């Protein structure tokens, strides 16, 4: 077997999350599991980070949760299988070059582009308990563009909710490359300073939470990656089901039931067949059906929780430090090209 060619440059992949606190199964299926796959394919040089400055755009009035949440998220990254020996795992605020690139890209980004980003007005409405008329919140997509363009990734694996941001990143890159050419054109083979990245859409079914709505921290309907088995089983017990199945003798339809949706994602084909058969014929009760779903979830969570137990807080902090120094080296290389192209040397 040939060794993976570590020294020859592989295409890069970059993605990140805000430090929202302990991650849930929706985060895992919607992003993290896919990142682990990309990492383990060994086809890409992988960069995964925690966007703690992004958390400040909405939580500036009370930043007390950001640092503890950062540790929790990094621990979940590691528990899910991201590996500091195979991926660069870093913290945004430890790579100050992101702030510099954000400032420079801010100079060329029309305000109208930012006002048109769909999440801008949506979030202002949804988070109406906070004042989001701050400059940082409007500029959020420019910061995200800096996070991405800093590492010239070919792909940015994200969920659907982030594609508009990556699209804006591409537009900012295009505008940059129109204004500024590489300073050492010969050496760079006429390559653009900030190549446009592509979205790599995470193929993931939307995971229902215990109330049947999309699993989301803000709905309080999540199953956490850290939930112990009894908690998972308890949460499943209270999960909503097909509303047509009122009595045990009423037949139901797994296609109209959030528990059925969980089975579709996590259960074996045999179990799924039993769910369809038993539910539609009222041959099984919801309690039994839910216990099967819990079995499948526990199987997914067990290895994650076992891996998590191997990381102390001290080790997580060391991993963040080490990964961030590696990211800084790459980031500084980019900034030297950017500064030169903008004649800021
Ligand atoms: N905006 C992303 C989120 O809210 C986090 C993020 C920040 C990100 N910068 C990024 C994701 C760069 C991918 C690439 O989850
Ligand atoms: Fe849902 Fe299962 Fe009950 Fe059918 S048997 S309604 S799929 S929980």
Closest ligand 2 atom, residue 285 Cα: 5
Q: Is residue 264 part of a domain?
A: yes
**Spatial contact of 46 and 330, defined as CB atoms under 8 Å apart:** no
Kindly calculate the radius of gyration of the chain based on its CA atoms and give it in whole angstroms: 22
- Examine residue 221 and state whether it is found in any structural domain, yes or no: no
Stretch 112-128: mean pLDDT = 87
Neighbours of 68 (CB within 10 A): 11
Question: What is residue 242's predicted lDDT score, i.e. its pLDDT?
Answer: 97
Together in a domain, 321 and 298: no
Residue with tokens 């760079």: 188
Q: Say if residue 95 is in the same domain as residue 236.
A: no
Q: Which residues of 4-39 are buried (b: 16+ CB within 10 A; e: fewer)?
A: eeeeeeeebbbbbbbbbbbbbbbbbbbbbbbbbebb
* pLDDT 10s digits, 265-278: 999 999 999 999 99
CATH of the domain at 132: 3.40.50.620
CATH of the domain at 296: 1.10.240.10
Percent of the chain with pLDDT over 70: 96
Q: What is the mean pLDDT of the chain?
A: 94
Please write the tens of the pLDDT for every residue from 20-49: 999 999 999 999 999 999 999 999 999 999
Euclidean distance between CA atoms 69 and 218, whole angstroms: 15
Q: Give 130-149 as a DSSP string.
A: S---SHHHHHHHHHHHHHHH
Poorest-pLDDT segment among 14-28, 54-68, 116-130: 116-130
Residues lining ligand 1, judged by CB closer than 6 Å? Answer: 14-18, 51, 54, 144, 147-148, 156, 158, 162, 165
Q: How far is the CA of 23 from the centre of ligand 1 (A)?
A: 15
Cα angle 230, 27, 257 (rounded to 5 degrees) comes to 65
The pLDDT score that the predictor gives to residue 8 is: 63
Closest ligand 2 atom to 253 CA: 4
pLDDT greater than 60 at residue 187: no
Q: Residues 57, 32, 335, CA angle at the centre, nearest 5°?
A: 55
Looking at the fold, whether 297 and 326 belong to one and the same domain comes out as: no
Instruction: Tell whether 254 is covered by a domain.
Output: yes
Kindly state whether residues 329 and 253 are assigned to the same domain.
Answer: no
Ligand 2: centre distance to CA 218 (Å): 25
Tokens 């980003």 locate to 117
The boundaries of the domain holding residue 320 are: 12-207+313-341
Confidence at residue 145, expressed as pLDDT on a 0 to 100 scale: 98
Considering the domain architecture, whether residues 176 and 317 belong to the same structural domain is answered as yes
Indicate which ligand has the atom closest to the C-alpha of 271.
2
CA-based torsion, 128, 133, 134, 140: positive or negative:
positive
Tell how far the Cα of 116 is from the centroid of ligand 1, in angstroms. 18
The ligand that comes nearest to the alpha carbon of residue 263 is 2
| Sequence-separated (6 or more) residues with CB below 8 Å from residue 8 | none
Kindly state whether residues 162 and 238 are assigned to the same domain: no
User: How many angstroms is it from 280 CA to the middle of ligand 2?
Assistant: 9
* Residues 167 and 252 reside in one and the same domain: no
Q: Which residue has the tokens 């790579």?
A: 95
Is 269 domain-assigned? Answer: yes
The whole-number pLDDT of residue 7 equals: 55
Task: Quote the number of domains for the chain.
Answer: 2
Asked whether residue 70 is assigned to any structural domain, the reply reads: yes
Residue 58 in any domain: the answer is yes
The confidence score (pLDDT) of residue 42 equals 95
Model confidence, pTM? 0.93
322 and 294 inside one domain: no
Closest residue CA from atom 8 of ligand 2 = 286
- Are the C-beta atoms of 265 and 29 separated by less than 8 Å? yes
Same domain, 49 and 149: yes
DSSP state of 152: -
pLDDT at 161: 86
The residue-averaged pLDDT of 62-84 equals 98
User: 150 in a domain, yes or no?
Assistant: yes
Return d(Cα 163, Cα 168) in angstroms, integer.
Answer: 9
Q: Read off the pLDDT of residues 238-292 as tens digits, 9 standing for 90 and up.
A: 999 999 999 999 999 999 999 999 999 999 999 999 999 999 999 999 999 999 9
Judge whether residue 188 has pLDDT over 60. no
Return the structure tokens found at 211: 């109330």
Residue 214 in any domain: the answer is no
As for ligand 2, residues whose beta carbon falls within 6 Å of it are 241-242, 245, 252, 254, 257, 259-260, 275, 279, 284, 286, 289-290
Ligand nearest the Cα atom of residue 294: 2
- For atom 8 of ligand 1, the residue with the nearest CA is 16
- Are residue 132 and residue 237 in the same domain, yes or no? no
The answer to which of 75-89, 138-152, 193-207, 219-233 has the lowest mean pLDDT is: 193-207
Q: Are 301 and 317 part of one and the same domain? A: no
pLDDT in tens, 143-167: 999 999 999 999 999 988 899 999 9
Locus of tokens 């109406």: 128
Distance CA 244, CA 257 (A): 9
Rounded to an integer, the average pLDDT of 215-223 is 94
Q: Are residues 249 and 154 in the same domain?
A: no
Residue 344 exposed, middle or buried by CB count within 10 Å (0-12, 13-18, 19+): exposed
């Amino acid at each position: 077997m040939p060794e993976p060619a570590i020294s020859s440059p592989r295409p890069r992949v970059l993605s990140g999350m805000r430090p929202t606190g302990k991650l849930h199964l929706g985060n895992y299926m919607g992003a993290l599991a896919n990142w682990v796959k990309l990492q383990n394919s060994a086809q890409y040089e992988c960069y995964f980070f925690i966007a703690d400055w992004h958390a400040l755009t909405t939580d500036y009035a009370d930043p007390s949760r950001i640092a503890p949440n950062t540790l929790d998220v990094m621990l979940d990254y590691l528990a899910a299988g991201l590996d500091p020996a195979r991926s660069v795992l870093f913290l945004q605020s430890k790579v100050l070059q992101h702030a510099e690139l954000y400032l420079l890209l801010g100079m060329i980004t029309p305000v109208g582009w930012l006002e048109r980003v769909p999440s801008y007005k949506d979030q202002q409405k949804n988070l109406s308990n906070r004042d989001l008329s701050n400059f940082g919140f409007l500029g959020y997509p420019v910061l995200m563009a800096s996070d991405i363009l800093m590492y010239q990734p070919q792909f940015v694996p994200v969920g659907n909710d982030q594609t508009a941001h990556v699209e804006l990143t591409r537009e900012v890159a295009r505008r940059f490359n129109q204004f500024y050419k590489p300073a050492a054109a010969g050496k760079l083979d006429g390559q653009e300073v900030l190549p446009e990245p592509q979205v790599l859409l995470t193929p993931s079914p939307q995971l229902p939470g215990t109330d049947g709505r999309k699993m989301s921290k803000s709905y309080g309907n999540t199953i956490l990656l850290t939930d112990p088995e009894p908690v998972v089983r308890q949460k499943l017990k209270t999960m909503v089901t097909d509303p047509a199945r009122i009595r045990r003798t009423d037949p139901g339809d797994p296609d109209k039931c959030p528990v059925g949706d969980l089975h579709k994602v996590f259960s074996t084909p045999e179990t799924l067949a039993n769910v369809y058969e038993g539910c539609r014929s009222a041959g099984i009760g919801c309690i039994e059906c839910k216990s099967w779903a819990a079995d499948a979830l526990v199987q997914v969570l067990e290895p994650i929780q076992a891996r998590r137990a191997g990381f102390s807080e001290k080790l997580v902090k060391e991993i963040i430090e080490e990964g961030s120094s590696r990211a800084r080296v790459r980031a500084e290389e980019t900034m030297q090209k950017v500064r030169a192209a903008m004649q800021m040397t």
